[in-house]
A and B are shown apart, each in its own frame.
Chain A
Amino acid sequence: MRKGLIAGVVLIALVAVLIWFMRPDDVQTGEAPPPLSAAPQNVIEHGRALVNLADCQPCHTARGGAPFAGGRAIPTPFGVFYSPNITPDPDTGIGAWSAEDFWRALHNGYSRDGRPLYPTFPYTNYTKISRRDALAMFEYLKTVPAVRQPRREHELRFPYDQRMLLVAWRRLFFRPGVYQPDPHQSPEWNRGAYLVQGVAHCSACHEARNALGAIQSSTNPAGGLVLNWYAPALTSSREAGLQHWSEADIVSLLQTGRIGMSAPDEPHAATLGPMAEVVYESLQHADPNELRAMATYLKSLPDVEFSAEPRRMRISSAGLAGTMKRGAKLYADHCARCHGDNGEGKAPAGPPLAGNRAVTMSSAVNPIRIVLYGGYPPGTAGNPRPFGMPPFSPTLTDGEIAAVITYIRRSWNNNAQPVSSTEVARNRTGPLW
């Protein structure tokens, strides 16, 4: 009797959960599509600019492959995703899609065949794109050369390969909805918010993912670990927050990939890793007015003080002193020539390390990767011959790299946590980006 009752309650609960998950209210149709006939060339040009800002091409193009034909591997904690072909090829691309199909994908996250899309495709951001803009993007994509290239299946681990689980994921984390302007803000601010939150999908990297996202998000409360790099928080002036920058400096960084290596007290930054790709492929080609709008909005983001410091490393003061001494020697041998004896930097080649938040932010992932793999900021029209950082992974051990980064993070008024050789070792794996 009692057992039957429990079973009945469980059954009712299961049915309720199922009904809740299956409710069809995660789909919106948006306002009616505007008439297209007036100026198709303008529409296509408008769409091209949006596709550029949405950075569609780099993800949908394999190295050395045809633009938009897909096949690029996107490594994630859940397995490897392969981007699909979005050229107008009718069989392997989106040539047979209607504007309605495209809208459903961008706004609602469903493929043409009704299957839910994985959020690696950032429809959680693109849902904010207006129907008019989505249509223009579709019109532009119809003009790129059609390429026949079948889609490569994703290689995902169980249970993430069970696409139907996305029904639950969507229910928990996704609400479709076009961006709604804030009437208390200026048109420029609203344009910037629309671009940052929607089209340019900045939060896809710059915000921590939850338990079903990046695995290290618990120790990095506001930024995100993406493609092995740490995308610093835009809501913290200790990380990548731009609250105290001038609008012109923000635009300059987004456009050229580098700013102000000359004076230590000026804002200075260089983009590396995935952000270098965003600048190189997308932002440097964007209309400066759009970048200014983004800057207006980014400046206005709240500056959140992090309460949760990352786990502190247990290390004796004697051990730390030894590490600092080793680090100082390594710094003098390998770093000082370009970064200065006291981390003051040497213009124009070596940025300052003293007071450099790329070095001092809680996550040490980026400093570790920069020392391991070096790298050049993107070679943009505004900075066509960038200086580069040498890669030290072939010549320095994990312990040496940990020591020199610890030294840099704790010298010249820098006051960040030490770095362990284990953390350096962890960053020796995985694809470079």
Chain B
Amino acid sequence: MRLNPKRSHARRCAVVFLAAWTVAAAQSPSPPLDSIDQRVQPCMVCHGKEGRATSDGYYPRIAGKPAGYLFNQLINFRNGHRHFPMMTYLVERQSDAYLQEMADYFARQDLPYPPPQALSVPPAVLARGEQLVMEGDASQRIPACRSCHGARLVGVAPAVPSLLGLPRDYLMAQIGAWKNGTRRAAAPDCMAEVAKDLSPADVNAVASWLATQPVPENAKADAEFAEPPPRQCGSIPDHTSTSAP
């Protein structure tokens, strides 16, 4: 396994990163050493300063995502439900309480989003993506993304993440990982069911449309579901327990 897939790409990134780091260091004071800010510094090399993502188009933004969602992901890396060796390596010997504290830190960050990615995608693909996100496709048993991720697609606290402000490559990699079982969540794994019903073309359509959408002014996750979600999801314990038949 090679953790640095493209060396030349890494070099370019290093240059960008160095420049960004230097500018950031000049602009903002360093966090106090004995603080949670200091303790999560290792996260920021890939996820960007304060978790706002870097420009390399893969590592996802973690700033402002719901705390329950972030915590679940850290646990999933720790127990092998998600596979990214460096993430597992970083979190595997930490307590639930400490991982929760890290998740809370990034959930607290309320930072402006950069403009969405400019992608050249055929209009028909974007239209199909928008249809799946907003309405779903009953003939393919695909629910609308918004029925779980919130009407504005910014997620629902505490465990459903926003779908906006993420690179297309990251979105496609995640849905792909769910399709082939290398990313899992607590059972019943609703997202795995949905991903398995998505065709490769539809994965591309959904990811492309989502990646090109601007993030609304108030991007905080909704406090509750507008309507009960259409599927049972193990990572939303309250929902599972209250609406189980």
Contact = CB atoms under 8 A, between A and B. Distances in A.
Interface of A: 62-64, 276-277, 280, 333-334, 337-338, 346-350, 372-376, 378-379, 384-397, 400, 428-433
Interface of B: 1-4, 7, 10-11, 13-14, 17-18, 21-22, 25, 30, 33-34, 38-39, 41-42, 44-46, 59, 79-81, 85-86, 88-91, 93-95, 97-98, 101
Contacts of B4: 393-394, 428
A431 B1 contact: yes
A388 B33 CA distance: 12
A129 to B, nearest CB: 27
B93 A337 contact: no
A388 B42 contact: yes
Contacts of B89: 373, 375, 432-433
Give the one of B11, B30, B86, B97 with max A CB within 10 A.
Answer: B86
A432 B2 contact: no
B93 A391 contact: no
Contacts of A334: 21
A429 B1 contact: yes
B78 to A, nearest CB: 8
A348 B32 CA distance: 10
Given A378-B93, A432-B88, 6 more contacts: A374-B45, A376-B90, A384-B97, A388-B90, A397-B7, A432-B86
B98 to A, nearest CB: 5
Give the one of B3, B34, B91 with max A CB within 10 A.
Answer: B3
B2 A395 contact: no
Contact of A346 (B3, B33, B39): B33
8 cross-chain pairs, A with B, having the tightest CB-CB distances, nearest first: A63-B80, A64-B79, A64-B80, A432-B89, A379-B94, A388-B42, A390-B42, A378-B93
Given A349-B38, A385-B101, A395 B45 contact: yes
A397 B21 contact: no
A314 B127 CA distance: 62
B42 A389 contact: yes
A316 B181 CA distance: 52
Give the one of A338, A347, A385 with max B CB within 10 A.
Answer: A385
A390 B18 contact: no
